[in-house]
A and B are shown apart, each in its own frame.
Chain A
Amino acid sequence: MMEKIRAIVEKCNLYLGIVSGLGILAMGLIIAYEVVCRYVFNAPTIWTQEVSIYLFIWTMLAASSYTLQTGRHVRVDLILERMRAKKRLLAEGATGIIGAVYCLIVSLQAWQMLAMSIGYGKLSATPLRVPLWIPQSALLIGFVLLTLQFMLIVIGRLSDLRALGNKGGAAR
């Protein structure tokens, strides 16, 4: 059961990572298009800057749990590397819980912000008048996935810890 959930979340992370990578490419193409329009056709666009910022927000938040899953969020592992296996697992489990709680709180706040934007029908203060929930929902989705990924890390460390305990008992 646990493994199934893990597999689903990790697959989801990977696909979001790939899509986000292509999203960066799309940002590059959109902005380059604007430069061409401005200099070659002398017709600057009104939508490129705003749309590319929304893409940026979406790609960065959507790929965050993939980045966590692959261990690419920068951390100080100086002391961790020098710890015994058991202490290390405990430390990683504890920081995982803190990370999960933080991401959960951000998710809840993102949800409130989103509910406000939808409720009042808030639009962006730009010529495009984009409904604000479109970029803002990236915050909710990104941090919900981060919360899940942190929880998976905690569960993973706990089961490693139990396996370690059994092995230690058997050796004795």
Chain B
Amino acid sequence: MITFLIVLSIILLLLFAGLPVAFSLGSVSVLLLFFYDLPLKIIGSTVFGSLDSFVLLAIPLFVMMSQVLLDGRIGDDLFDTVNVWVRHLPGGLAIATVIACAFFAAITGSGAASAATIGMVAYPAMLARGYDKKFTLGLLGTGGTLGILIPPSIPLIIYGEVAEESVGRLFMAGVVPGIVLTAILILYAAFRSVRGGYLRVEPASWRERLRVTKKNIWGIILPVIILGGIYSGIFTPTEAAAAGLVYSLFITLVIYRTLRLRDIPEIGLKSVATSCMIAMIITGAMLFGRVMTLLEIPQQLTELIIQWKLTPIMFVIAMNILMLLLGCILETVSIILLTMPLVVPIIHTLGIDPIWYAIVLTVNMEMALVTPPVGMNLYVISGLAPEIRMSEVIRGVTPFIIILVSFLIITIAFPAMSTWLPSLM
């Protein structure tokens, strides 16, 4: 136990001194190998083996697809389409923003990508229609977090890889909670807009609705291809990502011509940095997990939890509080990979449903995306326009954090919400 606490403090020291997460985990592992005189040759095989996975391959593919859709301005089309259908409702533009975020979340696996893609078009549109600026920023930051709950989801791919669960089933587990959270955000958006003021917009004519929908149909059916393909068993998640990438390139290069061939290297370079960052954290975390197992630390932690007579629900609540705190200083992939090697054995011993736990974890990670001081979506949203100050974004998301906490409690209280759909597969 003492070992574990020392390890923990060294990791925190390295992290706070500014060594990237991937290398902090790796160097602590190597230090432990030296200290306990364990065979160094596990380094090569573990680091190499951690990337030897067809499941993880989905990550760069989903990242690149999001980048293609972002640079190809497909987010604008999605927003325009949703907008003509709902803009006349009270708070119509805010509702359109939430639905467009949910739609894009069904294409991409990242919260930051959703916030950036929809934010680019929705932020100026909402401001021009008299919506409160802070509310708009908070709505976009939080709407973007649907990106990791509604499948596909990069955190769930990583969870599946580490916990050895089927990524397809994990994806399906996120569908119902994703829809429920979208509905809650829509209700709140309408309520806040009515109280906070906005300019009413004329309803679109049926002719316009059909015209806009038809024009943008290529982008709208993308979620159907990806989610339908995985649910029906036509695609594995990795194949869905590849098909989605090729399809997105086709519609942006050939149909809408919003991208040209010479934009591709730049898109590749942007995608490579994001995916490589994730992949390197995976190598560090897998090495860390391996060393922890060699030192039998997960077993010791599990025994401790049994000694303390922690019930499963108490353990889940304790983990959520811990991750809420970690979420303030770290981003999502790091938190999942830092905790999972230690948590997985405990989940199994306590008999906690790993699929349910995955969704609870993901909802918690949605909060990590928007809790200050470190929240990926806070940065993305404050980068949407030069006049946006970080303090405005933080004040904007505060009421939404309360919504997310309530939703986390709902997710913990009703496991069936997460486990029902995958049980049908």
Where the two chains meet, the residues of A that have a C-beta atom closer than 8 Å to any C-beta of B are 17-18, 20-22, 24-25, 27-32, 34-35, 39, 49, 52-53, 56-57, 59-61, 63-64, 66-68, 70, 72-80, 91-92, 94-95, 98-99, 101-103, 105-106, 109-110, 112-113, 135-136, 139
Residues of A near B246 (CB, < 8 A) are 28-29, 32
Contact assessment for B14 and A63 in the assembled complex, using a CB-CB cutoff below 8 Å: no
Contact assessment for B18 and A75 in the assembled complex, using a CB-CB cutoff below 8 Å: yes
Most buried by A among B14, B23, B41, B238: B23
Bound Cα distance from A52 to B241, whole angstroms: 13
Residues of A near B241 (CB, < 8 A) are 28, 31
Q: Which residue of A lies closest to B246 (CB)?
A: A32
Contact assessment for A76 and B274 in the assembled complex, using a CB-CB cutoff below 8 Å: no
Give the total number of A-B pairs whose CB atoms are below 8 A apart.
Answer: 196
Contact assessment for A28 and B268 in the assembled complex, using a CB-CB cutoff below 8 Å: no
Bound Cα distance from A61 to B283, whole angstroms: 10
B44 interfacial by beta-carbon distance below 8 Å: yes
Contact assessment for A66 and B242 in the assembled complex, using a CB-CB cutoff below 8 Å: no
Contact assessment for A31 and B242 in the assembled complex, using a CB-CB cutoff below 8 Å: yes
The main secondary structure of chain A at its interface with chain B is helix
Given contacts A25-B64, A28-B61, A74-B334, contact A110 B48 (CB under 8 A): yes
Contact assessment for B14 and A98 in the assembled complex, using a CB-CB cutoff below 8 Å: yes
Contact assessment for B23 and A73 in the assembled complex, using a CB-CB cutoff below 8 Å: yes
Bound Cα distance from A94 to B32, whole angstroms: 19
Residues of A near B264 (CB, < 8 A) are 22, 25
Question: Contact partner of A21 among B14, B53, B265, B374, CB < 8 A?
Answer: B265
Most buried by A among B26, B329, B333, B374: B26
Bound Cα distance from A136 to B255, whole angstroms: 40
Least Cβ–Cβ distance between A146 and chain B, in angstroms: 8
Contact assessment for B239 and A35 in the assembled complex, using a CB-CB cutoff below 8 Å: yes
Bound Cα distance from A24 to B373, whole angstroms: 33
Bound Cα distance from A135 to B47, whole angstroms: 12
Most buried by A among B41, B56, B234, B242: B242
Bound Cα distance from A95 to B54, whole angstroms: 33
Residues of A near B64 (CB, < 8 A) are 21, 24-25, 28
Where the two chains meet, the residues of B that have a C-beta atom closer than 8 Å to any C-beta of A are 14-23, 26-27, 30, 40-41, 43-45, 47-48, 51-54, 56-57, 60-61, 63-64, 234-235, 238-239, 241-243, 245-246, 264-265, 267-277, 279-281, 329-331, 333-334, 373-374
Least Cβ–Cβ distance between B324 and chain A, in angstroms: 16
Question: Contact partner of A60 among B51, B61, B374, CB < 8 A?
Answer: B51
Given contacts A24-B64, A39-B234, A74-B277, contact A105 B43 (CB under 8 A): yes
Contact assessment for B273 and A63 in the assembled complex, using a CB-CB cutoff below 8 Å: yes
Contact assessment for B43 and A109 in the assembled complex, using a CB-CB cutoff below 8 Å: yes
Least Cβ–Cβ distance between B148 and chain A, in angstroms: 15
Given contacts A22-B268, A102-B30, contact A57 B52 (CB under 8 A): yes
Bound Cα distance from A109 to B41, whole angstroms: 6
Q: Which residue of A lies closest to B51 (CB)?
A: A57
Residues of B near A73 (CB, < 8 A) are 20-23, 277, 280
Least Cβ–Cβ distance between A69 and chain B, in angstroms: 10
Residues of B near A103 (CB, < 8 A) are 23
Least Cβ–Cβ distance between A89 and chain B, in angstroms: 11
